[in-house]
Amino acid sequence: AKIIEIAKRLSLQAAQGGAGRERLCEKHREALKLFCEEDQTPICLVCRESQAHRIHAVVPIEEAEEEHKEKFQAHVRLLKDRREKLLGLKVAEERKSL
């Protein structure tokens, strides 16, 4: 659920950023170039130096985006596999009942 929430948030932020426009920090009006791993949110360079994020692990936003995208895709594959397995079991049980 957390992975899906992060993916939705990243997708929403990408959509809000628009084509070719850089996303800006609402507080500092600076480009969101970093991703706070602890808070799971994009931050600007000014936010990085603030008390709120100073001790948090931070990575470039592109790196975080790729990592979360890979995790999300892995979870989707796992869920698709489980769904296929469950559908197979359902069909087998329906055949038994007939």
- Tell me how far the alpha carbon of residue 97 is from its chain's centroid: 42
What pTM does this model have? 0.59
- pLDDT tens for 30-47 read 999 999 999 999 999 999
Domain 2-97 classified CATH 3.30.160.60?
Answer: yes
Length of the chain: 98
Task: Please check the confidence at residue 95 and state whether its pLDDT lies above 60.
Answer: yes
How is the chain split into domains, by residue range? Answer: 2-97
DSSP class per residue in the chain: -HHHHHHHHHHHHHHHH-TTPPPB-TTT--B--EEETTTTEEE-HHHHHSTTTTTS-EEEHHHHHHHHHHHHHHHHHHHHHHHHHHHHHHHHHHHHH-
Q: What is the mean pLDDT of residues 80-86?
A: 94
